[in-house]
């Protein structure tokens, strides 16, 4: 209930909330606790269960985490949402388990408010899960494998996170993002096919793995574990090479401190007929291995410039004959934040 001096658009809802406080405060000592966002007894028949817990426990709602009531009660966090949610006041009351006003009779049907409450909760959820608290709540769910694992065989059951393709509700259902193959998949069960992707948003999945880098697979991979140490050592800082020695087998280090710190599952499928690789010269030969490939060492990533061209082997590629390959590209490197950020 802070931030009373918000913009005027928030005025009405702020007043509403205060009104609710006033209304509910009458002769109801339970509501006193409610303002703390703790031990809030709901107005629904099942008094021990808040609307939020109930909503998150519904089948198909396993991906949702519980947004703390403090977060919802802070109007700053709801900026702009009242324009997107019909029956805003009633929806807020439902989500926060506040006794409805006397004049709530103007709402034609409870199911409409329920839909609004769901939309409201979903949109708040999208914002909540990119806060520190929300990320932590989702990390707990992630480690319990609540979101399932990647269907791709060579991702070796890497856990996935829910991901929207749009931040605007009503456009697409929720998808699952795999941090190992950086791809998105449809949830395995049809019960998730009715969940709006906007309730998770486009940002969450990636902010999540930026925040928890130890959960994010690194962008490079070398096949055998004994060879893995040699793939790391060239780009490895001397600090690690000197003190860790034989520990290299277990310790995995990505020289990019802002990158994924987990050893990647980097195997790529090779199609074979009777044990022989299908040649890429065949019409049906492999065309998509690049999609899942990883360089052997992190330094290899720097062989491609910001425009996606090879820096060193212009002879090998047809495309680099174009115009300004070296002359145009080289000076740009210094201004490229991607490269300078890493070195």
Q: Which residue has the tokens 């000592």?
A: 29
Least distance from other proteins to the Cβ atom of residue 325, Å: 13
Cβ closer to other proteins: 25 or 285?
Answer: 285
Q: How far is Cα 249 from Cα 105, in angstroms, rounded to an integer?
A: 68
Residue 310 as a binder of other proteins (CB under 8 A): the answer is yes
Residue 154 as a binder of other proteins (CB under 8 A): the answer is yes
Residue 132 as a binder of other proteins (CB under 8 A): the answer is no
User: Half-sphere exposure of residue 228, counting CA atoms within 13 Å on the CB side?
Assistant: 21
Cβ closer to other proteins: 61 or 165?
Answer: 165
- Residue 284 tokens read as 């049906």
Q: What residues between 214 and 253 interact with other proteins by CB under 8 A?
A: 219
Q: Which of 129, 215, 220, 153 is nearest to 179 (CA)?
A: 215
Cβ closer to other proteins: 120 or 216?
Answer: 216
Collapse the DSSP code of 110 into the 3-class scheme (helix H, G, I; strand E, B; otherwise coil) and give the result: helix
**CA pseudo-torsion sign 329, 335, 338, 342:** positive
Contact in structure between 187 and 193 (CB atoms under 8 Å): yes
Cβ closer to other proteins: 76 or 258?
Answer: 258
Q: How far is Cα 231 from Cα 294, in angstroms, rounded to an integer?
A: 12
Instruction: Point out which span in 52-60, 89-97, 104-112, 292-300 binds other proteins (CB under 8 A).
Output: 292-300
Q: What residues between 178 and 207 interact with other proteins by CB under 8 A?
A: 182-186, 188, 202-203, 205-207
Cβ closer to other proteins: 108 or 316?
Answer: 316
Q: How far is Cα 137 from Cα 230, in angstroms, rounded to an integer?
A: 37
Residue 317 as a binder of other proteins (CB under 8 A): the answer is yes
x/- map, 30-69, other proteins, by CB under 8 A: ----------------------------------------
Residue 269 as a binder of other proteins (CB under 8 A): the answer is yes
Least distance from other proteins to the Cβ atom of residue 278, Å: 5
Instruction: Point out which span in 31-39, 76-84, 93-101, 288-296 binds other proteins (CB under 8 A).
Output: 288-296
Residue 123 as a binder of other proteins (CB under 8 A): the answer is no
- Residue 71 tokens read as 């977060």
Contact in structure between 220 and 301 (CB atoms under 8 Å): yes
Residue 291 as a binder of other proteins (CB under 8 A): the answer is yes
Q: How far is Cα 13 from Cα 17, in angstroms, rounded to an integer?
A: 6
How many residues touch other proteins under the rule CB under 8 A: the total is 63
Contact in structure between 266 and 294 (CB atoms under 8 Å): yes
Residue 175 as a binder of other proteins (CB under 8 A): the answer is yes
Q: What residues between 5 and 24 interact with other proteins by CB under 8 A?
A: none
Residue 301 as a binder of other proteins (CB under 8 A): the answer is yes
CA distances, 134 to each of 4, 52, 207, 290 (Å)? 24, 14, 11, 35
Least distance from other proteins to the Cβ atom of residue 289, Å: 7
Q: Which of 62, 66, 79 is nearest to 40 (CA)?
A: 66
Q: How far is Cα 56 from Cα 67, in angstroms, rounded to an integer?
A: 10
Contact in structure between 99 and 24 (CB atoms under 8 Å): yes
Least distance from other proteins to the Cβ atom of residue 212, Å: 14
User: Half-sphere exposure of residue 70, counting CA atoms within 13 Å on the CB side?
Assistant: 7
Residues of the shown chain interacting with other proteins in the complex, contacts defined by CB under 8 A: 151-154, 165, 175, 177, 182-186, 188, 202-203, 205-207, 210, 219, 256, 258-260, 269, 271-275, 278, 280-295, 300-301, 303-304, 306, 308-310, 316-319, 322, 338, 341-342
């Amino acid at each position: 209930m802070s931030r009373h001096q918000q913009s005027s658009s928030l005025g009405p809802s702020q007043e509403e909330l205060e009104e609710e406080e006033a209304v509910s405060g009458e002769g109801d000592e339970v509501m006193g606790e409610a303002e703390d966002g703790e031990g809030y007894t709901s107005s629904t028949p099942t008094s021990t269960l808040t609307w939020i817990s109930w909503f998150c426990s519904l089948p198909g709602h396993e991906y949702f985490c519980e947004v703390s009531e403090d977060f919802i009660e802070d109007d700053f966090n709801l900026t702009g949402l009242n324009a997107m949610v019909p029956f805003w006041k009633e929806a807020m009351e439902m989500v926060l388990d506040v006794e409805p006003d006397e004049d709530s009779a103007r709402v034609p049907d409870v199911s409409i408010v329920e839909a609004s409450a769901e939309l409201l909760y979903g949109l708040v959820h999208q914002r909540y899960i990119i806060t520190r608290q929300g990320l932590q709540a989702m990390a707990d769910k992630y480690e319990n494998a609540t979101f399932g694992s990647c269907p791709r065989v060579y991702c070796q059951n890497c856990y996935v996170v829910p991901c929207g393709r749009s931040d605007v509700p009503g456009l697409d259902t929720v998808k699952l993002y795999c941090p190992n193959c950086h791809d998105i998949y449809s949830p395995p069960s049809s019960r998730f096919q009715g969940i709006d992707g906007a309730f998770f948003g486009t940002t969450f999945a990636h902010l999540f793995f930026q925040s928890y880098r130890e959960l994010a697979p690194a962008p490079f991979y070398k096949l055998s574990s004994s060879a893995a140490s040699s793939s790391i050592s060239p780009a490895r800082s001397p600090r690690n090479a000197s003190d860790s020695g034989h520990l290299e087998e277990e310790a995995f280090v990505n020289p990019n401190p802002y990158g994924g710190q987990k050893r990647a599952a980097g195997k790529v499928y090779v199609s074979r007929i009777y044990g022989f690789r299908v040649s890429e010269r065949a019409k049906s030969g492999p065309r998509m291995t690049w999609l899942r490939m990883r360089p052997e060492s992190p330094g290899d990533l720097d062989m491609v410039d910001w425009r996606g061209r090879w820096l060193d082997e212009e002879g090998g590629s047809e495309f680099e004959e174009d115009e300004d390959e070296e002359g145009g590209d080289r000076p740009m490197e210094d201004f490229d934040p991607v490269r300078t950020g890493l070195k």
